């Protein structure tokens, strides 16, 4: 998103990201189908649905800049804490999946930043990298399908966006394939370390977004 908004309108960027998200998450879900466990995914989905409504309500009542900045600080602090080895042996229960799903639905519908709560939850479950990636991909695929449908219903999926999607789809698919080949060489610990650094980046981006 930060890169797309530099070259296209922000509304077009959101819709284009969602369409390409379908490719990414569908590819990964199929690739990791043997690691899919609906007992892991359904609690996230169930928690997410009321969170979507809560996010819309939150957006009308809260200052988005303050929320984004606060969320960015929390996410970056969590990732730094993990990198320091403070949570190496901490595993949380499945009930927290509902909380993570609710938070993802709330933040996603309010600020289009629903990923971090679910990513944080999966890093604290003790699952291996394939279980984490399969759960994230399937959950994000479900949310993306809902979002793409909502955008289409509201006229945001314009012919111009579809043309842009036609241009970007193949490069995105190629990138996912190459990334998957690299992923196979990673140990679970290395994979989690990369996630933590990405969370720090997301946190910084949210803080900057909140300051604008």
| Domain spans in the chain, listed from the N-terminal domain onward | 4-211
pLDDT-based confidence at residue 43 (cuts at 50, 70, 90):
very high
Amino acid 88: pLDDT: 55
Share of the chain above pLDDT 70, in %: 91
Query: Does the model's pTM come out above 0.85?
Result: no
Amino acid 160: pLDDT: 93
* pLDDT exceeds cutoff 80 at 101: yes
* pLDDT exceeds cutoff 90 at 165: yes
Burial class (CB in 10 A: 0-12, 13-18, 19+), 3: exposed
Decide: helix, strand or coil at residue 150. Answer: helix
Contacts (Cβ under 8 Å, ≥6 apart) of 44: 97, 98, 100, 101, 104, 118, 121, 135, 139
Kindly list the distances between the CA atom of residue 82 and the CA atoms of 62, 113, 121, 126, in Å, as whole numbers in the listed order: 29, 21, 13, 13
């Amino acid at each position: 998103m930060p890169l797309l908004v530099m070259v296209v309108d922000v509304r077009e960027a959101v819709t284009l990201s969602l369409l390409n998200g379908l490719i990414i998450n569908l590819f990964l879900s199929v690739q990791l189908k043997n690691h899919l466990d609906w007992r892991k995914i359904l609690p996230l989905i169930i928690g997410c649905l009321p969170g979507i409504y809560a996010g819309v309500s939150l957006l009308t009542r809260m200052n988005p800049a303050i929320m984004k900045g606060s969320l960015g600080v929390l996410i970056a602090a969590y990732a730094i804490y993990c990198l320091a080895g403070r949570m190496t042996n901490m595993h949380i229960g499945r009930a927290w999946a509902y909380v993570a799903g609710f938070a993802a639905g709330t933040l996603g519908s309010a600020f289009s930043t629903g990923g971090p709560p679910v990513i944080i939850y999966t890093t604290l479950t003790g699952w291996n990298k394939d279980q984490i990636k399969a759960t994230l991909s399937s959950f994000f695929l479900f949310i993306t399908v809902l979002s793409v449908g909502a955008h289409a219903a509201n006229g945001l999926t314009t012919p111009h966006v579809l043309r842009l999607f036609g241009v970007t789809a193949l490069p995105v698919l190629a990138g996912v394939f190459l990334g998957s080949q690299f992923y196979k060489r990673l140990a679970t610990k290395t994979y989690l370390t990369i996630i933590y650094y990405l969370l720090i980046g997301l946190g910084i981006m949210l803080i900057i977004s909140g300051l604008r």
